[in-house]
């Protein structure tokens, strides 16, 4: 467990345990799903791969905290139960560490300068709803949990909608799939207050720039994410660029 997440050690451990994967993936399991969903999942999961319920990711990249700053992070992800993203960055040369989480149907953000001075601490219903939307989008990083989501056809060709019931709301993510089965982007109306706007649902998206295969599962590996996706404010809203360096499933 990363040091930045020690305060939520029990939740990290609970999410990391997952449930035992007793079945291997069979493409026949995709029958009845919209064609773009079948195309992506058939590309992402090799036949016979265990239907893992949990992944621990390591990543590095840049996050915009005023200006773009390098970060490194570890994340445990167990849809629909939750996630914890624990990271380390630097501001003015000083380390900022902490975590974002969604678990037990609640969300929280807790960040400290030098591990002591509070930078950001937030919780409550709005934070929980925003974190639930994040989990719904990041479920694409563990495609073997596809049977826990509801799937419908998208409004445009080559799209499908993945829906999760989280924090009392339906969280829908539209996935756009390439002809070869690659995931190209994921877009949702996510609860939040970007740029100090009133809390509400605002367009949020993730662009997939590369993919990598870990243990029979092909994941998005180079990502860009931000608010106001698909609008003339998208460049302003982009705040996250990352490369996933490892994925360990359980």
Select the more confidently predicted residue: 81 or 120. Answer: 81
Q: What is the pLDDT of residues 60-103, one digit of tens each?
A: 999 998 899 999 999 999 999 999 999 999 888 889 999 999 99
The percentage of residues in the chain with a pLDDT greater than 90, rounded to a whole number, is 82
Comparing 43-47, 149-153, 168-172, which segment has the lowest mean pLDDT?
A: 168-172
Q: List, for residues 45-57, the tens digit of each pLDDT value.
A: 999 999 999 999 9
Look-up of token digits 């995931």: 183
In a domain, 17, yes or no: no
- pTM above threshold 0.85: yes
Does residue 37 have a pLDDT over 70? yes
CA 178 – CA 36 distance, rounded (Å)? 8
pLDDT-based confidence at residue 113 (cuts at 50, 70, 90): confident
Domain-located, residue 102 = yes
Distance (Å, rounded) from C-alpha 175 to C-alpha 194?
22
Supply the range of the domain harboring residue 126. Answer: 33-249
Instruction: Output the CA angle 185-15-169, nearest 5 degrees.
Output: 55
Q: What is the reported pLDDT for 33?
A: 98
- Please report which confidence band the pLDDT of residue 19 belongs to, taking 50, 70 and 90 as the band edges: low
Least confident of 86-95, 173-182, 204-213, 217-226: 86-95
Q: Is residue 16 part of a domain?
A: no
Question: What is the distance between the alpha carbons of residues 72 and 64, in angstroms, rounded to a whole number?
Answer: 13
Name, in order, each residue with C-beta under 8 angstroms of 161's C-beta and a sequence gap of 6 or more.
Answer: 151, 152, 153, 154, 172, 173, 174, 175
pLDDT score, position 20: 67
Question: For residue 51, what is the domain's CATH number?
Answer: 2.50.20
Q: Which of 109, 163, 159 is nearest to 131 (CA)?
A: 109
Q: Which of 73, 141, 78, 82 is nearest to 111 (CA)?
A: 73
Task: Say if 110 falls within a structural domain.
Answer: yes
Query: Would residue 239 count as lying in a domain?
Result: yes
Instruction: Say if 23 falls within a structural domain.
Output: no
pLDDT score of 6: 82
**Residue 14 located in a structural domain:** no
Q: Tell me how many domains the chain contains.
A: 1
Domain contains 113: yes
């Amino acid at each position: 467990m990363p040091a930045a997440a020690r305060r939520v050690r029990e939740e990290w451990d609970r999410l990391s345990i997952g449930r035992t994967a007793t079945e291997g993936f069979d493409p026949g399991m995709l029958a009845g799903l919209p064609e773009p969903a079948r195309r992506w999942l058939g590309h992402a999961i090799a036949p016979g791969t265990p239907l893992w319920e949990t992944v621990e990711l390591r990543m590095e990249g840049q996050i915009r905290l005023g200006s773009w700053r390098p970060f490194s992070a570890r994340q445990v992800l167990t849809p629909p139960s939750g996630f914890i993203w624990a990271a380390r960055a630097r501001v003015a040369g000083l380390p900022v560490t902490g975590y974002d989480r969604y678990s037990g149907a609640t969300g929280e953000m807790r960040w400290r300068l030098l591990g002591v001075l509070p930078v950001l601490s937030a919780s409550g219903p709005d934070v929980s709803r925003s974190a639930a939307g994040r989990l719904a989008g990041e479920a694409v990083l563990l495609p073997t949990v596809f049977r826990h989501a509801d799937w419908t056809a998208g409004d445009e060709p080559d799209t499908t909608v993945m829906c999760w019931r989280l924090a009392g709301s339906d969280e829908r993510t539209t996935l756009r799939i390439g002809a070869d089965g690659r995931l190209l982007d994921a877009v949702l109306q996510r609860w939040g207050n970007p740029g100090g706007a009133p809390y509400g649902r605002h367009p949020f998206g993730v662009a997939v720039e590369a993919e990598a295969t870990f243990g029979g599962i092909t994941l998005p590996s180079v990502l860009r994410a931000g608010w106001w996706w698909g609008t003339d404010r998208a460049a302003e809203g982009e705040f996250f660029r990352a490369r996933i360096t490892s994925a360990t499933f359980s």
